[in-house]
Structure 1
Amino acid sequence: MAGAGQRRSGRTRTTGGTQRRRASRPTEEGLIPLLAAIARDVDRVVQRPPTRTSVRTKYQVVALLVREERARVKSDPDLSLAKREEELKRLDGLATILAKIAARDTSLLALLADDARVSESARTYKATVLRSAGRDVPDEPEPPAPVAVAPESDKRVVPQSAIAHRLANPFLAPDFGVAQERRAAAPRRLASWELLDTLFRSFERDAPGARACMDLPEPTALTATATRVPLGRELMPHQAQLVTAAARGHRTFLLADEPGLGKTAQALIAAQAADAYPLLVVVPNVVKTNWAHEVELWTPHRRATVVHGDGDQVDAFADVVIVNYDILDRHVGWFGDLGFKGMVLDEAHFIKNKGSQRSQHVLALSERIRQRTARPLLMALTGTPLINDIEDFRAIWQFLGWIDDDKPLGGLMTALEDTGLIPTDGGWYAAARTAVVDQGIVRRRKVDVAADIPARRVADLPVELDGPLGRSIRAAETALAARMVESYRRATAGREASPEDGIDLDLARRIAAAELKDSSSKRKGENVFEMVRKIGQAKAGLAADYAVQLARNVGKVVFFAKHVDVMDQAEQIFADRGIRYASIRGDQTAKARAQNIKAFTEDPEVQVVVCSLMAAGVGLNLQVASNLILAELSWTDAEQTQAIDRIHRIGQSEPVTAWRIIAAQTIDAKIAELIDSKSGLAAQALDGVAIEEGESSADVQLDALVALLTDALEAEGLH
């Protein structure tokens, strides 16, 4: 392709090794030269991220036209063999340019997929390019209709608890405000305009000083019963602002705060303020258990139930029903009939593909809720920046009831009417952007609310271990506890003791110490160290999944693990998800270590560094990141703190969050509790807390076994 391999300066190398400026020549005509010029423009822009939606549209259109032109050239009977080869060679050059662009921004690869969505703006731009190249514009086929949600599905289930709920509540009281809400949304002056495309483009245009967050009220004293937080817990000012808005009647939120700013707590207290019960919460599997944990922490008087599999153990009478996206299709039927008054989507960008079954089920449920409740609480939680890939938010806006497939709805349409403008007016885009933001977009970054949050903190993320490995871990823990209980029984046999004497803690410690010593000497078999290692292996995939979410939402992430197999598993997941990573391990040479550190700290495309807790716990400066994953627990707080100090250092400009992945209902949770109690952590805030002198890993190991033994004794009623 002419000009494809030349430098952008316009110079070419002569045979004598000197350079001279290429003589100007008339602009080449035709489709391929035009596509090459557009591709070079895209290449220049992509080198200065972020890549805007308009640029992504150009990239996709060039790729589509290259694909179509290649098919045309191959099948054109009027082309000579030489001409066909020449045209294909030029198209190969264009494809090379596109590949290099995608290497700079790997998210562009999604636009090349066979099922990638082609937006209306992309179709329009494609027609413009074809006309500019002197080509006829063929009639575009109608875009495929959204995947319909079948009224009945072979996968759908109705748990026994849901049947009992239906029998106990055969009729749901009608909400007569629904019809009034829908009547008020009828468009007037703007009825004949195509508005959705202009709304999306309003977020692509340069808008100095434009707000990315709705105006939030000053936080009020949250003392009313509806908004009161439990004793010992306190909302930060930025969290209280959103809750105050909900308490004053705002009901739809696109909550796009960065991870670490407490979106879960905001959603739960907002639901309490809006009395949005029963509340449906749809989440990724990795955080399902954490949501149940957060309900207990922030709204302890509300009952939560987590839906697993076919929902055999679900409590349909609970206040908060938590389900993961992967099994939503099984339960969408009875969910639609339960009478939810609120719905929360965590990691809401999971529904960005409107044609997917997952998105269609979510949209159908939100529509069902709006049909039954005039002003339900609808919240979409995501840390993805709002200015990137704005088309991806189409499904989220529809979930919130701001738009449908064709037009703005309700309050958004009213706000656009109230501007007094039409899309051809100069101030339309700024006014349209403001109207959308005021519907409920809330976006705060760590640096924006740095005064509200600790400079560094640990946030626990409980996860459930499913599958054979999870079952084997629980079985091993039960066997270990039973072994120690049997030792306790033998030691106390023949004693005359009354129930008031309680458990002999001194004896329990001696039994635990013996077990610990025995475990240390074992090379194989089930023991506490092997069990903890298996827990790390079982958590690896979940921890890596969460690291992927963080990397895509906020940028660079540091991933710490103790064992090589856990690091290997995480790195494989990153590779499979298209996440570039660096690795710091104990068996590396000094040169390899330095290269990996440089790659993470200097290459914007390297999003994750996978670190050995022992090899990278000291002597590293990784403050280019402000988020850290602790995939496996340390035996001491000192090791944990040393890991966090790799990013909480001089030069760190943002508050640091360490996400600690904890296997719920296992010894892992007890170890985390013991580490915190020994280090004096309060509410997981680390600032100003000194590490206790003399703390050792053996202390935590021993106390964990003592706790396991005493819990088993109490469960069996033994003393």
Structure 2
Amino acid sequence: MAGAGQRRSGRARPAGGPRGGRADERRRSRHPDEEGIIPVLAGITREVENAVGRAPTRAAVRTKFQVAALLVREERARVMADGDLSQAKRSEQLKRLEGLATLLARIAARDTSLLALLSEDARVSDAARAYRATVLRAAGLEAPEEPEPTPPPAPVPGAEKRVVPRSAIARQMANPFLAPDFEAAAERLARPRRLAGWELLEPLFRSFEDASPGAPACMPLPEPRAVPTPRGRELMRHQAQVVAAAARGHRTFLLADEPGLGKTAQALLAAQAADAFPLLVVVPNVVKTNWAHEVGLWTPLRRATVVHGDGDQVDAFADVVIVNYEILDRHVGWLGDLGFRGMVVDEAHFIKNKTSQRSQHVLALSERIRERTARPLLMALTGTPLINDIEDFRAIWQYLGWIDDEKPLGRLMTALEETGLTPADRGFSAAARAAVVDMGIVRRRKVDVVADIPARRVADLPVELDGAVGRSIRAAEEVLARRLVGRYRAALEARGDAAVVDGVDLELARRVAAAELKDSSDKAGGENVFTMVRRIGQAKAGLAADYAAQLARNVGKVVFFAKHVDVMDTAEQTFADRGIGYASIRGDQTPRVREKNITAFTEDPDVQVVVCSLTAAGVGLNLQVASNLVLAELSWTDAEQTQAIDRIHRIGQSEPVTAWRVIAAQTIDAKIAELIDSKAGLAARALDGAAVEDGEASTDVQLDALVSLLTDALAAERTA
């Protein structure tokens, strides 16, 4: 509201002829202190004071209180700015206004709910506006015409949590001119002509239900051409086809390949082919570290950054920004303004519920990208079969820009127009389905590309141990490393001056590690390599179970292996919480219970996961009803790992087998995985599934893990 004094266009005069009569005499004889708005406000304030003493405070009294406070504030500002007032007059009026303000503050102290009405951004109701006009007129002032009140904007979900990392601000300042490109926007404005007035979305969804059994849901893909890949890495034919399509100009993909067919590599190399950097990748928490790892493997010249928490460590200048669904609400603001040229949504079935905040954030981000960038690369990755429930893909199609809430958009609308059919025509369903598939649906199963992929492979899934648990484990590793370094230094000193060596004495390091290993085996208490590996397994348990749950929803039955009972307990609780049926195979079960649980997993379609003990279920089981296996904890030998994999990779298995090995990044877990792989030859004789006595290999891995921890700590000391 403007100040009261700004509306003093003239004093209200009595109606009639020239001044005279008793009324005019009373007006002329009124004391100057009784004129103007201050005495009116004083009267209102006294009324409010009397009324507030009789609780509860009514709405009309609250309105009077707010208007009095607003006008006291406005009148004070007017008096301060009025150059025609003498200093004495100004001081007098300010003193009177100060008295009113003090009284109003005392009133608010008696009813603290009135304090909210004193804030600068307090909402002024229509009733308060009307009463304010009445007060101004009573004071002989002209009431202003109030503008039509504008409704407050709807609150943005999660806006109170949003953050802007410092590096994001730096990037925006370095590149402030991100002008929108209107080419894509114009394309999206394609208007229906022949199909105007027809309801099209429901017939589009229904067309997938009406399709003949076995009809492929895969767009025509070009023959693969040579795709540049880093040395030592090679694309399979089915992967190269998607990259070739992106290189030819296709920009939207619903990549629904089964897990294990390399969707991550396809997405990254498609972004490379389309020059779609910077690239935004939205993923579940359990795989975001793996995405950063894959960026380093497939596009090593591109820099990746992973958003954790409030993004304090994020590098907004990176080529690939990876963020998980769970924290997207905090970062959706600055991500929308960063200027991405491509976006990948992994496990895209997570956004099927359009009313959820994460779905709304993903859709808002894709809309911002499509507004700013001509034909950005947009990819939705999911292993969930397309025909399970086509309505689930409404949000995915909208993310890709194929539809909005009411109709098909752009190229899809054009394709439907070009069919020459309407939903009432017999052939519309098949033509509509083909039009959607051609927009970029790619669905291949393992059996479809069996010639491309090995019969059995181990895929590492790095995970980040965040929070207090992760910090505790890393601190324990530092304690163990310092103890090893102390032992090593003491051994060097005991050998005397002649024992000074250049660099690290590896033979001495192995003796120190062997002594530590012996002490760890002999002592029940204290932090050692065995307790640390167990703690890592416990910390990974929830993440590994979460990934197994995703696999179960995508491809059906999954085998989950763990070494420790508490890890199995955590996994089973996770599956129960997610409504996923599971069976359990443990060492303390009777043969009858064990057989019952095996039968439940192999024959009951509602039992999607079997949770197995690595030691109790690593041999003698036939679980080839599944082709995916999750190793939640690492064994100490390749032989033990192979035995577990061979529970599903055996005679009767009709599909290629993938073992997903969950590894805690930046911990000793990663070193153990590397050592197991390097010693795979020691367990080669176990590939036929026979039992192996390989204790020596197990000891070697434990010893080498400690040697690696020691040498890394010594190297860090030299470079510090």
Q: How far apart are the structure 2 equivalents of 1:259 and 1:348?
A: 13
In the alignment, which residue of structure 2 is the partner of 1:293? 293
Structure 1 pair 148/209, CA: closer, same or farther in 2 (3 Å)?
farther
Matched residue count? 563
Q: Which amino acid aligns with 2:307?
A: V
Q: How far apart are the structure 1 equivalents of 2:505 and 2:368?
A: 58
Richer in helix (by share): 2
1:495 shift after superposition: 5.3
Structure 1 pair 454/149, CA: closer, same or farther in 2 (3 Å)?
farther
SS in 2 for 1:715: helix
In the alignment, which residue of structure 2 is the partner of 1:674? 675
Structure 1 pair 714/555, CA: closer, same or farther in 2 (3 Å)?
same
SS in 2 for 1:560: strand
8 Å CA contact retained: 1:457, 1:687: no
- Does residue 1:577 correspond to 2:582, yes or no? no
1:389 shift after superposition: 1.1
Q: How far apart are the structure 2 equivalents of 1:718 and 1:413?
A: 62
8 Å CA contact retained: 1:253, 1:379: yes
SS in 1 for 2:309: coil
8 Å CA contact retained: 2:602, 2:623: yes
8 Å CA contact retained: 2:163, 2:331: yes
In the alignment, which residue of structure 2 is the partner of 1:647? 648
Per-residue deviation, residues 201-225 of structure 1 (Å, max 9, x unmatched): 0111141452211110010112xxx
Q: Which runs of structure 2 are paired with 1:329-340 in the superposition (5 Å)?
A: 329-340=329-340
8 Å CA contact retained: 1:211, 1:437: no
In the alignment, which residue of structure 2 is the partner of 1:3? none
Q: How far apart are the structure 2 equivalents of 1:378 and 1:574?
A: 32
1:523 shift after superposition: 1.0
Q: Which amino acid aligns with 1:232?
A: G
Q: Which amino acid aligns with 1:574?
A: F
In the alignment, which residue of structure 2 is the partner of 1:357? 357
- Does residue 1:618 correspond to 2:624, yes or no? no
Q: Which amino acid aligns with 2:550?
A: Q
SS in 1 for 2:610: strand
Give the structure-1-normalised TM-score: 0.76
- Select the residue among 167, 171, 174 that pairs with 1:168: 174
Q: How far apart are the structure 2 equivalents of 1:522 and 1:149?
A: 59
SS in 1 for 2:210: coil
8 Å CA contact retained: 2:185, 2:370: no
Per-residue deviation, residues 601-644 of structure 1 (Å, max 9, x unmatched): 11111000000000100000000000000000010000000000
Structure 1 pair 582/318, CA: closer, same or farther in 2 (3 Å)?
same
1:240 shift after superposition: 0.2
Q: How far apart are the structure 2 equivalents of 1:499 and 1:236?
A: 52
Structure 1 pair 664/415, CA: closer, same or farther in 2 (3 Å)?
same
In the alignment, which residue of structure 1 is the partner of 2:514? 513
In the alignment, which residue of structure 2 is the partner of 1:259? 259
Per-residue deviation, residues 335-369 of structure 1 (Å, max 9, x unmatched): 11100000000000110010111111100100000
In the alignment, which residue of structure 2 is the partner of 1:608? 609
Q: Which runs of structure 2 are paired with 1:694-709 in the superposition (5 Å)?
A: 696-709=697-710
Q: Which amino acid aligns with 2:439?
A: Q
Q: Which amino acid aligns with 2:716?
A: A
1:707 shift after superposition: 0.3
Give the structure-2-normalised TM-score: 0.76
1:172 shift after superposition: 1.4
Q: Which amino acid aligns with 1:275?
A: D
Q: Which amino acid aligns with 2:320?
A: V
Q: How far apart are the structure 1 equivalents of 2:300 and 2:659?
A: 25
Q: How far apart are the structure 1 equivalents of 2:507 and 2:155?
A: 62
In the alignment, which residue of structure 1 is the partner of 2:100? none
1:304 shift after superposition: 0.2
Q: Which runs of structure 2 are paired with 1:395-406 in the superposition (5 Å)?
A: 395-406=395-406
User: What is the RMSD of the two structures over their aligned residues, measured on CA atoms?
Assistant: 2.2
Structure 1 pair 691/342, CA: closer, same or farther in 2 (3 Å)?
farther
Q: Which runs of structure 2 are paired with 1:231-380 in the superposition (5 Å)?
A: 231-380=231-380
Structure 1 pair 330/497, CA: closer, same or farther in 2 (3 Å)?
farther
Q: How far apart are the structure 2 equivalents of 1:210 and 1:646?
A: 33
Structure 1 pair 275/681, CA: closer, same or farther in 2 (3 Å)?
farther
Q: Which amino acid aligns with 1:402?
A: W
In the alignment, which residue of structure 1 is the partner of 2:191? 186
Q: How far apart are the structure 2 equivalents of 1:558 and 1:151?
A: 39
In the alignment, which residue of structure 1 is the partner of 2:631? 630
Q: Which amino acid aligns with 1:417?
A: E
8 Å CA contact retained: 1:559, 1:630: yes
Q: How far apart are the structure 2 equivalents of 1:250 and 1:301?
A: 23
Q: How far apart are the structure 2 equivalents of 1:178 and 1:590?
A: 64
Per-residue deviation, residues 255-314 of structure 1 (Å, max 9, x unmatched): 000000000000000000000010000000000100000000000000000000000000
In the alignment, which residue of structure 2 is the partner of 1:153? 159
In the alignment, which residue of structure 2 is the partner of 1:491? 491
Q: Which amino acid aligns with 1:210?
A: A
In the alignment, structure 2 segments of 5+ residues that lack a partner are 1-152
Q: How far apart are the structure 1 equivalents of 2:337 and 2:499?
A: 54
- Does residue 1:211 correspond to 2:211, yes or no? no
Structure 1 pair 238/160, CA: closer, same or farther in 2 (3 Å)?
same
Q: How far apart are the structure 1 equivalents of 2:154 and 2:670?
A: 43
1:191 shift after superposition: 1.7
Query: Identity over the aligned pairs, expressed in percent?
Result: 82
Structure 1 pair 680/322, CA: closer, same or farther in 2 (3 Å)?
farther
Q: Which amino acid aligns with 1:428?
A: F
8 Å CA contact retained: 2:580, 2:607: yes
Q: Which amino acid aligns with 2:159?
A: S
The structure having more radius of gyration, on CA atoms, is 2
8 Å CA contact retained: 2:492, 2:500: no
Per-residue deviation, residues 536-574 of structure 1 (Å, max 9, x unmatched): 100000000000000000000000000011101101111
In the alignment, which residue of structure 1 is the partner of 2:467? 467
8 Å CA contact retained: 2:682, 2:697: no
Q: How far apart are the structure 1 equivalents of 2:664 and 2:635?
A: 14
Q: Which runs of structure 2 are paired with 1:16-165 in the superposition (5 Å)?
A: 150=156, 153-165=159-171
8 Å CA contact retained: 2:188, 2:411: no
1:471 shift after superposition: 1.6
Q: How far apart are the structure 1 equivalents of 2:381 and 2:500?
A: 51
